[in-house]
Amino acid sequence: MDEIIFRPIGHVRSPFKTTAEIPQQSIHVPDLEAVIEIKEEFSTGLLNLDKYSYIIVLFHFDQSSGYELLVDRPRGGSPGPRGVFATRSPHRPNGIGLSIVELLRVEGNQVMIKGVDMLDGTPVLDIKPYDPGLNPVI
């Protein structure tokens, strides 16, 4: 397998200090605020991000180790195991996470968000604008 190397563009500053505190998804803490601190060398890339109400945050599950391809859902759902790619488990082959959060404002290299489900210090790999009008109707 070819190796792919990512370099974080910043880190999350959230109230969650341990993995046990993190909600299953950001929709479970819609009013909880946090900050994404972007490294100064990437801060110019934030220009016009504030034109969006929501953003997609791609991050690395840096506190997670190992993975299983079949997992049991810890919070219920259909009985029996599921493939890891049919879950939001942090224990994944590449440890990449995705959250859609509300963008409150951008100040310099700081991106203030609401609805955080990431651990304090989580490395951020990328930020993308979220536009629900671009999603196909299923």
**CATH code of the domain in which 24 resides:** 2.40.30.70
Q: Could you tell me the two tokens for 39?
A: 């490294």
19: nearest Cα among 65, 56, 57:
65
Is residue 121 assigned to a domain?
yes
**pLDDT value of position 130:** 94
Residue 3 covered by a domain: no
pLDDT tens, position by position, 105-130: 999 999 999 988 899 999 999 999 99
DSSP 57-125: EEEE-TT-----SEE--TT-SSSS-EEGGGS--S--SS-EEEEEEEEEEEETTEEEEES--S-TTPEEE
- This prediction's pTM: 0.87
Please report whether residue 122 resides in a domain.
yes
* Least confident window among 8-17, 37-46, 67-76: 67-76
* In a domain? residue 55: yes
Q: What pLDDT score does 74 carry?
A: 61
Asked if pLDDT for residue 138 goes beyond 70, the answer is: no
Overall number of domains in the chain: 1
pLDDT of residue 7: 96
SS3 21: helix
- Distance (Å, whole) CA 135 – CA 100: 13
The pLDDT value recorded for residue 26 is 58
pLDDT confidence band for 76 (50 / 70 / 90): low
Q: What is the extent of the structural domain holding 103?
A: 10-67+82-132
Is 35 contained in some domain? yes
For residue 137, is it within any domain? no
Task: Please indicate, yes or no, if residue 33 is contained in any of the structural domains.
Answer: yes
Render pLDDT for 23-50 as a digit per residue (tens, 0 to 9): 766 566 668 899 999 999 999 999 999 9
Is residue 58 assigned to a domain?
yes
Share of the chain above pLDDT 90, in %: 60
